[in-house]
Amino acid sequence: MSLKYPHRDEGISVAERVLYAVKEKVGNQQTGPFDMKQNALDIDRLTRYVGLLTETLIGNGRLTEDQAMDLLDRVVDGRKLHEN
């Protein structure tokens, strides 16, 4: 496994790879659970990942833009996936 890019390890699931990429520490420094700078970085990485994933799904015809907007509406409103 690459120390710089642990999310490149083919021996772990895709979900674990995403988690590694989102939670990867800057400069491999150890931080506490309430490190605001690291939390902001985690949120930024996760947001970019979800944005790229959404664009890819739309581009591949797996999701329409209307479906993506409905999902975003549900997130903003706090609704569950199958809740109307």
Output the DSSP codes for 25-80: PGGG----TT-HHHHHHHHHHHHHHHHHHHHHHHHTTSS-HHHHHHHHHHHHHT--
pLDDT at residue 34, as a whole number: 60
Stretch 51-64: mean pLDDT: 93
Mean pLDDT of 18-41: 66
Is the full-model pTM beyond 0.75? no
What are the tens digits of pLDDT across the range 33-53?
567 777 787 888 888 889 899
Neighbours of 81 (CB within 10 A): 6
What's the CA gap between 37 and 34, in Å, rounded?
9
